[in-house]
Amino acid sequence: MTIRPTLIAALILASSQTFAFGDSSYEFMNDTTHVGLGATMSFDELPPAAAAKTVAPLRAVLNIPHVKAPAYNKQQAASYNKLINQVAREHKLDPQLLHAIVSVESGYNPGAASPKGAQGLMQLMPDTAARFGVSDRADPLQSLRGGARYLRFLQGYFKQDMTLVIAAYNAGEGAVGKFRNTIPPYRETQEYVAKVLASYEQRAGQPLIATAAAKPQRVHATLPPLQPL
């Protein structure tokens, strides 16, 4: 029997189309039109992998100076450990953050006083102490509670952006707002933020904030959610 050329062409064409087997269909693709697929797969022809998202060290992104954690009397610090943990639990704060603030502000000396008028473990100014219900700034418990309330307020105000929280604890939320919610360009404040971050990392064994996007809008830390006081 002679098979006509038109019939042969029809059979060849059908073999390159989709074949159905039961409920499933399978498409046979021509290697010549799909480079890199099939038996002649070449990894040289595959598209390049997507580039990883660029990140940079926090200090480099925010121009925070690199400093060593300030020294402190470890025995004296240990004597306030229980009290700091208690106040941290009361105000839903990271106790290592409180420790970092205290170590930079007063070195765990409840009688510390600054030339500008700050006093106590948390170095509260008179107006800040009155604002957060502290009558005796030299009293360790009152000082810690007043400072913790201020930190809680700042966390809510700056939506957990911890670099701004720390900067505002030093310079005030007004100064941070004046510079469009960035760390104010005051050398004292920039070094203060750097010292608190270094102190936190030394105590906690990990950075408070590790990395940030190359052009961040805000930098956040993972902390417990705010709870009513």
Q: How far apart are CA 170 and CA 149, in angstroms?
A: 15
Cβ proximity of 121 and 136 under 8 Å: no
- Active-site choice (27, 90, 105, 173): 105
Measured CA distances, 164 to 97, 169, 224 (Å): 14, 8, 17
Q: In the chain, what is the greatest distance between 2 CA atoms, to the nearest angstrom?
A: 113
Q: How far apart are CA 183 and CA 197, in angstroms?
A: 14
* 27 in active site: no
Backbone phi, then psi, for 67, in 5-degree steps?
A: -130, 165
Helices (H), the chain: 5-15, 58-62, 74-79, 81-90, 95-105, 126-131, 140-157, 162-171, 173-178, 187-204
- Strand, coil or helix: 56: strand
**Token pair 């400072």: residue:** 147
Beta bridge partners of 55: 213
Q: How far apart are CA 63 and CA 194, in angstroms?
A: 10
What 8-state DSSP symbol labels residue 124?
B
Task: Give the residue numbers marked as catalytic.
Answer: 105
